[in-house]
Structure 1
Amino acid sequence: MTRHEVTVDVLGPWSLATSKQFWEGFAPGALPSQGEQQEMRTVFRVEGDWSRAEVRVTQEGSAARIIVEGDGDLERAVAQTRRFLSLDVDGRGWVDVGARDKVIADAQEQLPGLRPCGFHSPYEAAAWSVLSQRIRIVQAAKLRDDLVCEYGQDGAFPAPEQLRALDLDLPGRKTEYLHAVAEAALDGRLDGEALRAMDVDDAISTVQEVKGLGPFAAELVVLRGANAPDAIPHNERRLNEEITFRYGADRTLAEVSENWRPFRTWAAVHLRSLREARTHEISG
């Protein structure tokens, strides 16, 4: 195992502590609680060679110190880390969104320095989309955890070549669809860098060509798997409900999100995060 370390400037607001807390509550792939440690740690598959990598991220002022270890392409592992932590985005204009929209300004105040943490890759986002179809999130999370424990590598999700070969006893057509996702990843159709470079609508259309991935899943893969910063999800009922709660029944997502450009995904994630916190408090 080799080691690669870099320090990168993060442009615009960023708080490792806020982002870590967000990811620890991110049900599809929640980080294990790391307590008060001033670092974020995770393991993932590096796109391209699908090797396992370990990463530790710490914050030094406005810079991120990224240390990756593994046997594969560690430079690509660093780039992938920056993408799934949204550290590769110039966020200096994010403050301006709050200046234009008092609802987003309030969200920024409640979640200071949050940068949306996505899935490790579009591949993992696509696999989650299949696992979570037509079942509760807690059930899907257990299916994912079981896959990692039985077929993964020290906490990393199974590599596409391995997933494609597995004969899994899963509900419905999930096994067939997981095989299709693995095939698409091996063919490069779920490459994060490539999807980010495309027009968002074209990227979503490309993902929908993978068997088993409909409109909702394709949006998740692009917005949270490739972590595209400026798009709005059209198939999230809970986000629409939050728009009504925050802006009023006469406002629509399409209308209010115009003021969020070029950070529409970020704004949507902030509002969804606040909604989850608020509804959890109510139910608790």
Structure 2
Amino acid sequence: MSIETTTITSIADGGQVPPSAQMELRFKAPYDWARVLRFFSGRAIPGVEQVVDGVYRRIVDLNGDAGRLTVTKHPRRHCLIATVEGAAARHVDDAFARRVASMFDLGADPAAIGGGLARDPWFAPLVEAAPGLRVPGAWSGFELAVRAIVGQQVSVKAATTIVGRLVQRAGERVVHDDGMPAADGAPAWRFPTPDALAACDLEKIGMPGKRAAALTGMARAVAAGHVPLDPAQADLGTLRRAWLDLPGIGPWTVEYIAMRAWRDPDAWPASDLVLMQSIAARDPSLDRLASQKHRTEGWRPWRAYAALHLWNDVADRASGARGG
């Protein structure tokens, strides 16, 4: 998947006004902005991310400079508008465009994905209801890996709360160029670096000891460069093997990272409880991983999108984020 043409506009640079830059990133319609935002909103890291009034906001770090990223959908054209304010705006370039495009899955071809999944009668109505559904990504592979480990065997809400505590313990509060404090609830924290998290005391953070140890071990491995973080460093097979070798990291965690950070369109977190329940609700005879495998194999090469459609279907009928 690749992104289409981008447009960069420098709004201000230096002087008494903090620098800012704006970029338009195109996508293939349809694009289900409302459901993408709902997914991010339910998992927004307290202090780092925020979704309000159809806008996604977060603190970003580009080449050591902090900034405020705002992303919204253009009211008429098939593009998202990404604006960076603060020192980080000086580093807005093609690499930044690819990063935002990956995070919002702008390279997806909804017609191909929907057509492939709709061959299964379970998905035909789901695709019809949400034809522009995307797989929301992440600002960084490390951030997503932290979220995946913390999210092992707990609810989305619980995982979000714990990640917020990690930010408070190991993150860094941002001082903006304009010297103004962030509004209440607005993003104001850098996500912890691997080094900072590796050195953080996780006692009484709200996780079992083994999971906390797995998180610390992962952060140390990333900080030391012992594990690759994304497909630019290794192929998907190598990435999976390297991460499965880490203590406390199992198939669900790796597949969740693969679908959201590594952009593997066929990643499938098979043991996800909500996915298993959703499949069994459609066919009670498919109530075990082994029995579900044959059905899910038919969703290749778009199983990551199949997961999003099933999670989305549950979210449409329930209150609060569930799954992933």
Measure the CA separation in 1 of the matches of 2:274 and 2:212: 28
CA RMSD across the alignment? 3.2
Matched, 1:163 2:197: yes
Count how many residue pairs are aligned between Structure 1 and Structure 2: 275
What SS does structure 2 have at the residue aligned with 1:113? coil
Aligned equivalents of 1:165, 1:63: Cα separation in 2: 40
Residues 104, 134 of structure 2: 8 Å contact kept: yes
Q: Aligned residue for 1:125?
A: 144
Corresponding residue to 1:180 among 217, 220, 231? 217
TM-score normalised to structure 2 length:
0.71
Q: Which amino acid aligns with 1:164?
A: A
Distance of aligned partners of 1:175 and 1:255 in 2 relative to their CA distance in 1, 3 Å threshold: closer
Mapped to 1, the partners of 2:29 and 2:102 lie a distance apart of 15
Aligned to 1:67: 83
Q: 2:130 maps to what in 1?
A: 111
Moved more, 160-169 or 68-77: 68-77
Shift of 1:34: 0.7
Between 1:244-253 and 1:151-160, the stretch displaced more is: 244-253
Q: Which amino acid aligns with 2:254?
A: A
How far, CA to CA, are the matches of 1:99 and 1:136 in structure 2? 29
Displacement of 1:80 after TM fit?
1.8
C-alpha distance in structure 1 between counterparts of 2:258 and 2:64, whole Å: 19
Identity of aligned residues (%): 24
> Is the 8 Å Cα contact of residues 11 and 91 (structure 1) preserved in structure 2?
yes
Is contact 2:50-2:56 (8 Å) kept? no
Higher-Rg member (1/2): 2
Task: In structure 1, list runs of 5 or more residues that go unmatched.
Answer: none
Counterpart CA distance in 2 for 1:65 and 1:279 is 30
Query: Which letter does structure 1 place at the counterpart of 2:31?
Result: W
Q: Report SS of the residue matched to 1:241.
A: helix
Q: CA deviation at 1:87?
A: 1.3
Q: Tell me: CA distance 1:108–1:250, structure 2 relative to 1, closer, same or farther (3 Å).
A: same
Higher deviation after alignment, 202-211 or 166-175: 166-175
Return 5+ residue gaps in structure 2 as ranges. 1-17, 174-187
1:42: which partner in 2? 58
Indicate whether 1:191 and 2:213 are aligned. no
Q: 1:235: which partner in 2?
A: 271
